[in-house]
Structure 1
Amino acid sequence: MTALLSPLSAAPVQFLWGTTVFVDEADLRGIIHADARLPEKGPICEDLDPELFVADQAALEAVFLSTFNATADMDGAPPVTSVTVRIQGWREGHGVPAAADVSPYVGWCCLSATAAPSTAESGCLSLADPRAGSDLTAMPGLPWGRQVLIRPVPGALAVAPGWLTYSIVPVEHGQSLVVAVATCSR
């Protein structure tokens, strides 16, 4: 069973599988350049020069820092003190298999995106519970086991604990995304 989430403006911190996950829509006005688009040609995934896409790097880092700390507060965890943000370009064929991170929290913010040509899942961030047996759970109402997809629309912001399994659904032909990927430390 898969749930497809769109960024929310109310109650962005949610409990998925008993785990605190933040999904919201970031206001990117003044943070990114209005014409922030990935060129059509290039590698399927590349680290980009932030100055080409981000007008206010400190404000983008502040968005992640406040989001990481809102999530840490809900977890009863120590506050996050530093954030590292990379800007990536994703094109046709880019996908990430199931992975996790050593950072206490990992965050993604879609800065720009072209529409997915044929499937709503193209380029989605997928979060899944990595605990044993959770993939066998299909009962509605149980707090674990269901994969959650977050659409790659400009402003989509997600933060999850680093141990939570994440992946990127492969990007389809004709679609491109510019994504800020953030990690943190305490």
Structure 2
Amino acid sequence: MTTLLAPLTAAPVQFLWGTTVLVDEADLEAIVHADARLPETGPTCDDLDPDLFVTDQAALEEAFFAAFNAIADMDGAPPVTSVTVKIQGWREGHGIPAADASPYIGWCYLSATPAPSTAESGCLSLADPRAGSDLTAMPGLPWGRQVLIRPVPGALVVAPGWLTHSIVPIEHGQSLIVATATCSR
């Protein structure tokens, strides 16, 4: 499934309504080890050795490369020329995703265990940091609310790097393995 919001018509942050966000489903069957699980103990956010979780790093990078260039094309922006992908483990209490001065940033949930008791736990949250309009009471408009992407294996999200993003804190006993990606032109 691909969900697209209205395309951005010009470069970086503009006081226009359009913001392009791509939400897709990556086929992880040949990319991630079938038994990829995060150890129960460890830091709330841990940079992981990709070889322990990913069977085909090039295919994972290509999935992000294609998504970054699709969103750049929708924005009328120059194509992406390189992609950097890191694998992270997120555990109980983690709530801040990686940030970078990248034109676009991406996330792909590779593994999620167990199912949380709170539906929003571990969700990627996107919000527009621009003020909406006169008499708008809160940032995040024109969307009017955060866009939440559930931590389901295969969920792939690409958004402009300037968009406000966070993680709904991960609950006790829940752990996620996530590929984070940045790009350059």
Matches within 5 A, 1:126-141: 126-133=125-132, 136=137
Deviation of 1:118 after TM superposition, in Å, equals 1.8
Name 1:159's counterpart in structure 2.
Answer: 158
1:138-153 alignment runs, 5 A limit: 143-153=142-152
Aligned to 1:184: 183
**What is the deviation of 1:137?**
5.5
Aligned-pair CA distance for 1:52: 0.2
Gaps of 5+ in 2: 8-16
Query: Equivalent residue for 2:119?
Result: 120
1:71-110 map, 5 Å: 71-96=71-96, 101-110=100-109
**2:4 paired residue number:** 13
Greater relative contact order (Cα < 8 A, sep 6+): 1
1:54 paired to 2:45: no
1:133–1:14: structure 2 CA closer, same or farther, 3 Å change rule?
closer
- For the Cα contact (< 8 Å) 1:72–1:79, is it kept in 2? yes
Give the corresponding residue for 1:4.
Answer: none
Q: Distance in 2 between matches of 1:157 and 1:83?
A: 15
The TM-score, its normalising length taken from structure 1, stands at 0.86
**Are residues 161 and 32 of structure 1, via their aligned partners in 2, closer, same or farther at CA, if it must alter by over 3 Å?**
same
| Matched length | 173
Query: In the alignment, residue 108 of structure 1 is paired with which amino acid?
Result: W
Moved more, 124-133 or 142-151: 142-151
Identity percentage of aligned residues: 79
**Residue aligning to 2:26:** 26
Q: 2:63: which partner in 1?
A: 63
* Aligned-CA RMSD value: 2.1
Does structure 1 conserve the Cα–Cα contact (< 8 Å) formed by 2:31 and 2:60? Answer: yes
- Are 2:108 and 2:156, in contact at CA under 8 Å, matched by a contact in 1? yes
Deviation at 1:100, TM superposition (A): 5.5
Partner SS for 1:70: helix
Segment drifting more, 115-124 vs 174-183: 115-124
**Higher relative strand content:** 1
SS of 2:67's partner is: helix
Please tell me the residue identity of whatever aligns with 1:13: L
TM-score (norm 2): 0.87
* Kept after mapping to 2: 8 A contact 1:136/1:145: no
